[in-house]
Amino acid sequence: MVEDLCFHLLDLVQNSLAAGARNIALKVEESAGLDFVTLEVTDDGRGMDRQTLVKVQDPFFTSKGFKKVGLGIPLLKATTQACRGNFRISSRPGQGTRVRARLQKSHLDCPPLGDLQETLLSMLVSLEEVNIRFAYRSERGEFSLASEDIRLQAGGMHFSHPDIYRFLKSYIREGLGRVLAPPAGSRAQGPAGCSRPE
């Protein structure tokens, strides 16, 4: 198992980038009442044929030449199944890929969500040439953003510029702080905090 679910988000985004994606949509949904957490990543990368789609779920298969094994998708699938959830991956050549995992939030083996604020912030700053659409939803509400909209407001300044970076950090912190679901087994209403994986 991994330290937190943000690791899986980062891994799926890296897969999208490796597939040449220019547009990546990330969705995270949590429900304490219905007891689930869902991760979904959709991209417009090269996509995969049926044979590759089967192989990519094998922990000993990878299309990345620098890796000996590709554990990302198989590990997410195994974690999802261990947490009484369901895992789906769909793809077509030239039409991109969609990965969706829904886990039982209260399951003992379900990793915590992790530091979603820092994960999203690092994605926006390091992947400025990619269009990222992000949405988070819980019983407390919804928060969403699109990097292309922020790019227009930034007036051509890089997201790493101190002023833009401070704005992004504050905007994401306030937005997620209003809607983040409490950790499983907790009544706290504040954002869940967990160190971002290296």
pLDDT confidence of residue 128: 85
Q: How many CB atoms lie within 10 A of CB 89?
A: 19
Q: How many CB atoms lie within 10 A of CB 108?
A: 8
Q: Is the per-residue pLDDT at 148 higher than 80?
A: yes
pLDDT band at 195 (very low <50, low <70, confident <90, very high): very low
pLDDT confidence of residue 180: 93
Average pLDDT over residues 3-28: 94
Q: Measured in whole angstroms, how far is the alpha carbon of residue 146 from the centre of its chain?
A: 14
Q: Is the per-residue pLDDT at 196 higher than 60?
A: no
Q: Is the per-residue pLDDT at 53 higher than 60?
A: yes
Instruction: State pTM to two decimals.
Output: 0.86
pLDDT confidence of residue 193: 38
pLDDT digits 0-9 by tens, 167-189:
999 999 999 999 998 876 654 43
Cα dihedral across residues 145, 148, 152, 158: positive or negative? positive
Domains defined for the chain, CATH in brackets = 5-179 (3.30.565)
| Phi, then psi, of 96 in degrees rounded to 5 | 85, -175
Q: Which residues contact 104 (CB under 8 A, 6 or more apart)?
A: 35, 36, 83, 84, 85, 110
Average pLDDT, the chain: 87
Q: Is the per-residue pLDDT at 44 higher than 60?
A: yes
182, two tokens: 């409490």
Bridging pattern class, strands 36-43 and 86-92: unpaired
Q: Is the per-residue pLDDT at 197 higher than 80?
A: no
pLDDT confidence of residue 45: 95
pLDDT digits 0-9 by tens, 57-97:
877 655 544 343 346 899 999 999 999 999 999 999 999 99
pLDDT band at 190 (very low <50, low <70, confident <90, very high): very low
pLDDT confidence of residue 116: 96
pLDDT confidence of residue 189: 39
